[in-house]
Amino acid sequence: MTSSPAPSATEGFNVLSPEYLVDPLAYLGAVRLRTPLVHLPELGAWVPTRYVDIDRILQDHETFSSAVLQIPPLSPALKELIPAEDEEIVRRLFAAQLVFTDPPVHDVQRRSAQRTFTKRQVDRTMARIEEICDELIDSFVDRGEVDLMEHFARRFSLRVVGTMIGLDVDDLERFHGMVNDFSTLIGPSSADAGFLGFTDEQVAADFAGVVAGYRYFAGLVEQRRAEPRQDLVTAMITLTDDAGEPVMSTDEILAHLVGIVAAGTDTTANLVCSLVARLTAEPAVRDAAIADPSLWPAVVEEGLRRETPGDKATRMATRDVEIAGQQLHAGDLVLVLFAAANGDPDRFPDPLAFDIDRPGIAESRHFGTGRHFCLGAPIVRPEARIAMEKLFTRLPGLEARQDVAPDFAPTLMRLRNSLPVRWNVGG
């Protein structure tokens, strides 16, 4: 057992490097050959590289807590800029986020969320996905080339989520802005320097953005109470316990919507673009799926493993524990990279190959596992399948441009900024 990481094993490890962002499975494969556990000093975090360790961490919520992130305490200068009521609102939204809670609180909240995220809700959304695809493609089909992220993927994911939760496009854009402001305020609870990298004025602006969105959408929830619709917001409002009392408060409804929009927009948009880029490099698979559309679900499933668009989770050790021969202590942060699990050859032989007949694909960890398995998985898969079939049917010869360098945002979320594509117009 070692007490500190070996410099030769961790030197140069960087999850913001172009090499990682372009192909995390390949990058982490090289790291795994050197060490099963990397220390990332910039975050003060340990990064496991083997499937077996990642699965253990994700399954053992008693030893590895999800209550890792927080809204840092406000400095005296920030308290002068941010009203106490605004701070309270932001902290209430954070406290109700499923992804940052442990049992028993998590179990209660997740049961409520699952009771509203029903097959009926999914089916109702599915009925609109093909129409959304066609409407977006209609807007650029004659151009021959576009930035797929800007003109399709981002708008597609926003509109699908909007259909599900019951927001129109304008309201959803506003809500997405609120989610982005909220996300920038969250940091590791082990950090010792508050809002790292942001000026007080930027932090205050993000608080103001969250609160403005909160007040607007709290009003929208009240409108739904008065005028119910067939959407997820109404389902949350009307959910009752055994005594007939409402289960979710307005704060809890808005907190769940923040989580849904955060998980269901950028991740899905990245999946769509990553699949198009991957299929450009895998023309035999692409052509087979175009010829036989029944193959698209397998393409999406392998694409989720190979590209792993929702690629990280954070945990904190609640007690001293050994992982991969390394002693971790209570309070140590663990950064779980799903791509490390999905690229482990001990679980997925020849992991860099794109194999739509791959055995054991159900063990892929792109949606997490255990209590925090992604609630949106039932809609992400068919959403991506429909998008792929529509894009490659209506845009013959669709391919990602190889003369343009991959463009990723240098953030821990591994988000594409753009994906220039082209296709044949007019035969």
pLDDT tens-digit profile of 328-359?
999 999 999 999 999 999 999 999 999 999 99
Answer yes or no: is pLDDT of 368 > 90.
no
Among 100-104, 126-130, 415-419, name the one with the lowest average pLDDT.
100-104
Answer yes or no: is pLDDT of 109 > 70.
no
The CA distance from 346 to 361, in Å, is 13
Tally of domains within the chain? 1
Q: Say if CB 210 and CB 85 are below 8 A apart.
A: no
* Domain membership flag for residue 113: yes
Q: Which two tokens mark 414?
A: 């591994």
Answer yes or no: is pLDDT of 402 > 60.
yes
Q: 3-state DSSP call for residue 228?
A: coil
Task: Please report how many Cα atoms fall inside a 13 Å half-sphere around the Cα of residue 382, on the Cβ side.
Answer: 14
Answer yes or no: is pLDDT of 369 > 90.
no
Peptide bond into 104 cis (omega under 30): yes
pLDDT of residue 375: 60
* Domain membership flag for residue 325: no
The CA distance from 407 to 415, in Å, is 9
pLDDT of residue 323: 95
* Domain membership flag for residue 7: no
Report the first-to-last Cα separation within the chain, whole angstroms: 64
Task: Kindly give the pairing relationship between strand 69-70 and strand 64-65.
Answer: unpaired
* Domain membership flag for residue 244: yes
Task: Write out pLDDT tens, residues 119-155.
Answer: 677 777 877 899 999 999 999 999 999 999 999 999 9
Please provide the size of the chain in residues: 427
Q: Could you tell me the pLDDT band of residue 186, with boundaries at 50, 70 and 90?
A: confident
Task: Write out pLDDT tens, residues 274-323.
Answer: 999 999 999 999 999 999 999 999 999 999 999 988 768 889 999 999 99
Calculate the average pLDDT of the chain: 86
Amino acid letter, residue 57: I
Task: Kindly give the pairing relationship between strand 312-317 and strand 64-65.
Answer: antiparallel
Closest CA to 347 of 366, 336, 361, 334: 361
Q: Could you tell me the pLDDT band of residue 112, with boundaries at 50, 70 and 90?
A: low
pLDDT of residue 48: 96
Among 100-104, 192-196, 326-330, 385-389, name the one with the lowest average pLDDT.
192-196
Question: Can you tell me the mean pLDDT for 5-33?
Answer: 80
Q: Say if CB 187 and CB 263 are below 8 A apart.
A: no
Among 48-57, 107-116, 177-186, 304-313, name the one with the lowest average pLDDT.
107-116
The CA distance from 361 to 344, in Å, is 12
pLDDT of residue 258: 83
Phi and psi (nearest 5°) for 325?
Answer: 80, 5
Range of the domain at 291: 61-308+371-397+406-422
Amino acid letter, residue 130: E
The CA distance from 370 to 223, in Å, is 36
* Domain membership flag for residue 324: no
Name beta bridge partners: 313.
336
Q: Say if CB 415 and CB 409 are below 8 A apart.
A: yes
pLDDT of residue 70: 78
Among 32-41, 103-112, 144-153, 318-327, name the one with the lowest average pLDDT.
103-112
Interaxial angle between packed helices 377-394 and 266-281, expressed in degrees from 0 to 180 and rounded to the nearest 10: 50
Q: Could you tell me the pLDDT band of residue 103, with boundaries at 50, 70 and 90?
A: low
For residue 116, the domain's CATH number is 1.10.630.10
Can you say how many angstroms the Cα of residue 34 is from the centroid of all Cα atoms in its chain? 28
* Domain membership flag for residue 85: yes
Residue at token pair 């609640």: 318
Count the Cβ atoms, other than its own, within 10 Å of residue 289: 23
* Domain membership flag for residue 170: yes
* Domain membership flag for residue 46: no
